[in-house]
Structures are given as structure tokens and as C-alpha cells.
Amino acid sequence: MTAFGFHASHEQIHPAKLLEAVVHAERVGFDAAMCSDHFSPWSERQGQSGFAWSWLGAALQATNLSFGVVNAPGQRYHPAIIAQAIGTLGAMYPGRFWAALGTGEASNEHITGDVWPRKDVRSARLRECVDVIRALLAGEEVSHDGLVTVDRARLWTRPEEPPALVGAAVSVATARWCAEWADGLITVNAPVDHLRQMIDAYRDAGGRGPLHLQVHVSWAPEQGEAEAIAYEQWRSNVFAPPVCWDLETAEHFDVASADLPMSKVTDTVNVSSDLGRHVGWLEEYVELGFDQIALHHVGQEQRAFLDAFGAEVLPKVRPTA
């Protein structure tokens, strides 16, 4: 049965309010939660960017939900530090935590002052990081010389069962590549045909484990309000690679999206005041075979969305006993 999660958007919401939101999400019937580990928002209008790892400890303690985080080791983070973070949360909250690993975006990674590598170099660097993290979580002492350097690292606090390391992908080619190393796949909502191609590529290449989908939605009681929320908060997030990978600041995203038509936003965000329409979208994703679907309401106020979806949407997309 597909689990339905709440995506906690650190880029848009103060971490204290986000903690209140995830507690409420569990109360109204969500099964899980996830977030992304970013240093910068995608727009100055979003206006936040809390530290995901600090928040995750609080959120895991405050709820009984399972949690995932999307992270990019290799530039802003040394992989041994990410292995330690994963290992500690896994040891404290067994079976409730997973981490998705990706190649990252310049908007978060440029802060180190290091050169932002080409995509092929970033992919090779991530692959090295995955091997380092797995070895550390397995209890090995790790030394490594390559695109990342590790000297005699060892994790002293580890979970009995290492948390899943999930591959983050938005393209068919990346989904196929993730099958080499990942314990599952995560992607974002896209046309059904594209999602089906990604799933097929991952599974046909031997990809194992659960399939995760993050779904951007905008809902409000009135259609005009739902559209206004999506346009105001999420039009800076609609750019396909390589633009979304390579722009460096929130200001850059705001300039690039200043005159974007609403049609581009609705290509990325499921915008509707009709809860039945949202049920229909989710049913399509369930039919594709996703094991967990995390809903991200792109507005900054979450309570009305959580109440409406908890009461009117989640019961209709879960199979009856």
C-alpha cells in the first residue's frame, strides 16, 4: 500500500513552524515525512533555509513518522560527515530514517568557494561518496583518494541496520544510473509517461527498493487563490536542468522567473481548488507503483492544506479494507 507523506519545505517555512506542521500532518493522517537539505531558498520570496539535520532530530522525536532527507555530499559536505549524520539518526530512530543522495545544485554548493564541477564530474564524485558512506555505515575504517579524500575515518556510533541510501533523479538516464548503487529511487512529479519511463529504466537496470515521489501541489478553496500561491512561491522552481543546477543565488532565480507565464508553473505544480482533481492526480501516481508519495503544498501556510487533504484526499486514495 502506498504511504503518503508530508514534504517539509525548509526553504519556505521557519523551522519552528515547520515542526508544528509535521506534528499536525501526523495528527490528520499522513504516514511519513521528508525534506531537502538546502543552504539557500529558490527565491527571496520564500525567505527561509533552516538546517535540515538539526530539524530532523527534533521532528523524529516529536512524531512517530518515518523521515527522509535529500542531500548532496561531496562539496558542501564531506561524505564522512554525512555518514555520521545518517548513522546517528539511524541509531536513535531505527527503521524510521532514509537518505536520498544526489549531485546537488550550485545555489547550495557555491558557498564553499570551490569550482562547481561539470555534471559528469559531479556524478563521479557522488558515486565515490556513496561508496565511502556505505563502508563507514558498515563499520569499516575508510581511506580514499579521488574526487573526495578520506583519511582513516571510522564511525563509532552506528545503527544495527544501515538506513537506505536512495538515488535522486529527474531524468531517465540518471534513474538508470542510480540502479547501480541505490536502495530505492526518488523523483518529482512529471507527466505520467515520463515517470513511467523513469521507473522502467530503474527497474530494468536492476534497481531495487522502494519508489518515492515528491509531488508539488497548490490548493486553496478558490482557484484564483491556488494559482496565486503557486505563482508567487514556486515560479522560480520550474526550470529544467541544467538551469536549476547552475544558477547560484535566489536573486538569479527571481530574475530568471520574473516574467514566467502561469502555464509554466502548472507544468510543475498540480494547481487546483478541486480536491477531487488532486485525488485523480494521486491515483495516477499510485497506479504507476510508487511506494511513497510526499505531498508538498507550495504555500507558506500549511494548516488548511493538511486539514483538507487529511479529511478529503488521503481517505480516497487509500484502499479500503
> Tens of pLDDT along 11-25?
999 999 999 999 999
- pLDDT above 60 for 321: no
Going from the N-terminus, what domains does the chain have, and what CATH number goes with each? 3-317 (3.20.20.30)
pLDDT in tens, 83-104: 999 999 999 999 999 999 999 9
**Residue-wise DSSP of 27-50:** HHT--EEEEE--SS-SSTTT----
Structure confidence at residue 320 as a pLDDT band (50, 70, 90):
low
Amino acid at 161: E
Per-residue pLDDT averaged across 147-171, rounded?
Answer: 97
The pLDDT score that the predictor gives to residue 140 is: 98
Per-residue pLDDT averaged across 282-294, rounded?
Answer: 97
- pLDDT above 60 for 250: yes
- pLDDT above 90 for 191: yes
The pLDDT score that the predictor gives to residue 25 is: 98
Residue positions counted in the chain: 321
Per-residue pLDDT averaged across 43-61, rounded?
Answer: 97
Contact indicator for 69, 35 with CB cutoff of 8 Å: yes
Per-residue pLDDT averaged across 234-240, rounded?
Answer: 93
Strands (E), the chain: 3-8, 32-36, 66-71, 97-101, 142-145, 149-153, 165-168, 185-188, 211-218, 270-271, 292-297
Structure confidence at residue 49 as a pLDDT band (50, 70, 90):
very high
> Whose grid coordinates read 582513516?
152
The pLDDT score that the predictor gives to residue 319 is: 74
CA gap 108, 116 in Å, rounded = 10
CA gap 20, 16 in Å, rounded = 7
CA gap 73, 133 in Å, rounded = 10
